[in-house]
Structure 1
Amino acid sequence: MYTREKQLKAFERLLDIMDDLREKCPWDRKQTMESLRNLTVEEVYELGDAILEKDTEEIKKELGDVLLHIVFYSKIGSETKDFDIADVINSLCKKLIDRHPHIYGDAEAKDEKQVKENWEKLKLKEGNKSVLQGVPQSLPALIKASRIQDKVAGVGFDWEQPKQVFEKVKEELEELQVEVEQNQQDKIEDEFGDVLFSMINYARFLKIDPETALERTNKKFIFRFQYLEQKAKENNLDLSEMSLAEMDKFWEEAKSLKL
């Protein structure tokens, strides 16, 4: 690991390179905050993939890409004289100190739950009109549901036991089944959403990240289906003409293999 001096030197080098690119590279010179936005989202997802794969070398590279975007936005901000990288860092430092009075002040926080409760109360004191104000509208629905539940739990709006949440899951499933039997399409969608929301809440009580759990299942399914495709090809079989029993034979084989 590098010393603090070398870490700061590396960051200074990055800032110098960003200055060069912004001045001399036609592509970098053309970019705006708006044009970078989608690229930033993509980089964050690539970082997420690397974390799920536990690929530390790839995590390092993707963190670099995310850091580049932070420096890039800050460079653009300095050109319009709105803010620069020092403003970004100082603003973050102030927020971290203000939001951790149990470290930098006289408040107490005995556990993670109390830290979260203090955090949400502090944000309301800072001017947030709602606990949910900080949940980005553009978040994917599954992640948004998880963040919503985290935030309201932070101010005490929560179940007490996992068993209660599971009972809610069963209740929502029963309500969904009623609408399915009555063939009420708009109500089916509403109840299906309620089932998903309650399952995401249950995941929180089980200390499982629902996004990670679903992505692991996606990867598992892809692996098994591609194994099925491979075996069909090796046996000169056409998937569209195979019976479910024939496909299931290869599927079960795939289940016995590790990703």
Structure 2
Amino acid sequence: SDAVLKQWDAIKRTEKGTEHEGLLHGTGNGLPALMRAQKLQKKAARVGFDWPDATPVFAKIREEAAELEEAIASGDKAHMEEELGDLLFSVVNLARKLGIESEPALAAANEKFTRRFHAMETHLREQGHELGKLSLEQMDAAWDEVKRGV
């Protein structure tokens, strides 16, 4: 199937007159960043620039997280942003290796967080607490209670 995909890419690039452009030329500049990252990685993988499975991606994620921690320690905001981007790109790579589309996965996580946060607010309100007046520890305890039930 890899050979077929490579041939398909070559045919499409010839049809579009972009056979002399780089492989990543025109790879969804208008897409949301997560979707574009996944598309860029798929294109690179078609020519063999890819890990064989998800296992080495975890090492890359740990490496990028360590680099982000170093950037945070430096206090250099531009460096932090760059390293955070690298970490996110690596996480998208993990999603791709697992056969998961990163954009809907993150959208689902957003919805789950919203449901749990709303449930936590309701739970605390029912106990007579005001969310903004509680400590992080109190809110975290309420979050854990809700998490077990949501």
TM-score (norm 2): 0.85
CA spacing shift, 1:152–1:239, aligned 2, 3 Å: same
More relative contact order, 1 or 2 (CA 8 Å, 6+ apart): 2
Deviations 1:55-85 (A, max 9, x none): xxxxxxxxxxxxxxxxxxxxxxxxxxxxxxx
Answer yes or no: is the 8 Å Cα contact 1:165–1:202 preserved in 2.
yes
Amino acid at match of 1:119: W
Residue 181 (1) aligns with residue 83 (2): no
Amino acid at match of 1:188: M
Aligned mates of 2:54, 2:35 — CA distance in 1? 20
Q: CA deviation at 1:114?
A: 4.0
Aligned mates of 1:159, 1:216 — CA distance in 2? 27
Aligned mates of 2:11, 2:149 — CA distance in 1? 49
Question: What is the DSSP-based 3-state SS (H/G/I as helix, E as strand, rest coil) of the residue aligned with 1:131?
Answer: coil
Question: What is the DSSP-based 3-state SS (H/G/I as helix, E as strand, rest coil) of the residue aligned with 2:51?
Answer: coil
Aligned mates of 1:136, 1:153 — CA distance in 2? 16
- Between the aligned residues of both structures, percent identity stands at 39
**Length, aligned pairs only:** 147
Q: CA deviation at 1:209?
A: 1.6
Determine the structure 2 residue equivalent to 1:141.
33
Q: Post-superposition, which runs of at least 4 consecutive aligned residues in structure 1 deviate over 6 A?
A: none
Determine the structure 2 residue equivalent to 1:120.
9
Q: Please give the root-mean-square deviation of Cα atoms over the aligned residues, in Å.
A: 1.9
Aligned mates of 2:33, 2:147 — CA distance in 1? 30
Aligned mates of 1:153, 1:256 — CA distance in 2? 39
Amino acid at match of 2:26: G
Residue 163 (1) aligns with residue 52 (2): no
Amino acid at match of 1:215: A
Aligned mates of 1:137, 1:217 — CA distance in 2? 25
1:199 to 91, 94, 100: 91
Structure 2 gaps, min length 5? none
Structure 1 gaps, min length 5? 1-110
Residue 223 (1) aligns with residue 115 (2): yes
Q: CA deviation at 1:148?
A: 0.8
CA spacing shift, 1:245–1:181, aligned 2, 3 Å: closer
CA spacing shift, 1:115–1:255, aligned 2, 3 Å: farther
Amino acid at match of 1:182: S
Aligned mates of 1:169, 1:230 — CA distance in 2? 36
